[in-house]
Amino acid sequence: MARVLVSEKIADGGLDALRAAGHDVDVQLGLSPEDLLEAVKGAHALIIRSATTVTAEVLDAGADLVVVGRAGIGLDNVDVAHATARGVMVVNAPQSNILSAAEQTMALLLAQARNVPQAHNALVAGRWERSKWEGVELADKTLAVIGLGRIGKLVAQRAMAFGMRIIAHDPFVSPERAQAMNIDLVSLDEVAEQADFLTLHVAKTPETIGLIGREFLAKAKPNLRVVNVARGGIVDESALAEAISEGRIAGAALDVFESEPTTESPLFSLPQVVVTPHLGASTREAQDKAGDTIAEQVGLALAGEFVPFAVNVAAAEASETVRPYLAVGEQLGALFAGLVAEEGLPPKVEIEYQGELAGYDTRILTLSVLKGVFGSGADEPVSFVNAPQIAAERGVEVTETSSSSSVDWINLVAISGGGHRIAGTLVGLKAEPRLVQIDGHTLDVPPSAHLTLVRNDDRPGVIGRVGTILGEAGINIDDMDVGRSTNGEAGALMVISTREPVPAEVATDLGKADGILSVTVI
């Protein structure tokens, strides 16, 4: 099976599941960047946390990599763009630590409001400073939640229990959805005008770096307290330290920093600041969930199945109706590539879905088809990840059409282009794949790695000649069907499945036989 390199501590339960699936789990902790370049060679999967940086150089060294799994949410330590270009899937565990992060936010919110760590330090140092560390209540204060996603929503719900008024800034959330949660959506300027407390729950992107900086802090209320358990760099630490030192805002609590690990920051010397060393996901429950989730996702990727938490796959889901057709789509794609091999891939390829499939999100199925089309004879890895990019690079325009009506089949997947068309479906209680249409002929034959298409005159004796030639060449026929023309054209189409490829010289002999119009070996 596959070799899975694990460079950081992961919960044993997830790793045991990978071992049980037959994979070689290679745990090498504390690797230097140079050591990682050597260790990743020959690995099919790499599992990391936040301390390992997966650069383009690492991805290039891992020529056999299928998937990189990050046991957590953030992916700023993975070169996702280069992984996509290389066809390497990147997966994370986005739901593993949402409760832990929300609770850490509330812990820092309360610690900042009531000066808990400052009072603790004074007392254990022998100072009873009861009046010095007077705090403020959360009740009736306005909390601004920046980023109303999974974690932001949990924080808002918990803050409401303290009697806080909640406002939020999130350009991706509709006012109706926010209103349903009893939250007012506001602009960033309105956050600065209204917020007594502010919590951040957004990803670190070029748009969010420095989001809470000098410009924002200049507009803020003097009693504002900022809490960041999201990602370092979203808050400009120097600007925040200046604002607190000058009394322009009341304080801050941070769990994340621009550079990690760190023991130096202009914020550390300020008594109005509470800090923790990136503990947002540091609970036993979150660690177990992250390990279990990432192991499951990596296992799915290695098996070539749909991976729900893949961040660089252009598809949202694989429903129970769509999922069984993924293998069919890839097989059809490979057969279509073989069908058009002599002319080359056409500039336009249309993928059509008929029947029940038309009512579902079929993007993952389209990726499966493209994986088959471009994977045949490719000198580079082709996956769900980079198939669209390869299509664009090769100048192939891909379109999708859907129709809820299908005359002969409950579901049908068809590929057309360059004057050719091929279609397939699943049949029977066992959902067995069938090739049912090729270039205007209907048939019923299982897809095969070795197919030979024989176009012939529709008259007696031709099938026998074909069988004789193959038999004399020692080629065993596994399956065969004669396709009927659906468009009134003369002639027939034989589709022959063989255990081994039909050699070029045998194909030439077939083409010379009486009644044979053409021979195509896929």
- Which positions are catalytic? 231, 260, 278
Please identify which residue in the block is written with the tokens 């924002």: 216
The alpha carbon torsion through 401, 407, 412, 415 (nearest 10 deg) reads: -50
Judged on CB neighbours under 10 Å (0-12, 13-18, 19+), 320 is exposed
Amino acid (1-letter code) at residue 308 = P
Per DSSP, the three-state class of 178 is: helix
- Give the Cα separation of 310 and 307 in Å (integer): 6
H/E stretch holding 480? strand 477-485
Nearest in space to 306 (alpha carbons), one of 329, 287, 284, 289: 329
Distance CA 55, CA 72 (A): 18
Q: What does the DSSP 8-state code read for residue 378?
A: -
Q: Is the link from the previous residue into 222 a cis peptide, with omega within 30 of 0? A: no
What single-letter DSSP state applies at residue 316? -
Reduce the DSSP state of residue 4 to 3 states and report it: strand
Write down the residue that tokens 């705090």 correspond to: 135
For residues 442 and 432, give the distance between their C-alpha atoms in angstroms, rounded to a whole number: 17
| Sign of torsion over alpha carbons 243, 249, 251, 257 | negative
Cβ atoms of 418 and 373 within 8 Å: the answer is no
| Tokens, residue 405 | 């009506």
Q: What contacts 366, CB < 8 A, 6 or more positions away?
A: 315, 329, 351, 398, 400
Cα 488–chain centre separation: 46
CA dist 484 to 455, 487, 496, 522, Å?
A: 11, 9, 15, 20
Residue 488 tokens read as: 């009134």
Say if CB 312 and CB 83 are below 8 A apart. yes
Report which of 279, 247, 138 is spatially closest to residue 197, judged by C-alpha positions.
Answer: 138
The backbone torsions φ and ψ at residue 453, rounded to the nearest 5 degrees and listed phi first, read -105, 125
Whether the CB-CB separation of 154 and 102 falls below 8 Å is answered with yes
User: Using CA atoms, how far apart are residues 406 and 293, in angstroms rounded to an integer?
Assistant: 39
The dihedrals phi and psi of 46, each to the nearest 5 degrees, come to: -130, 120
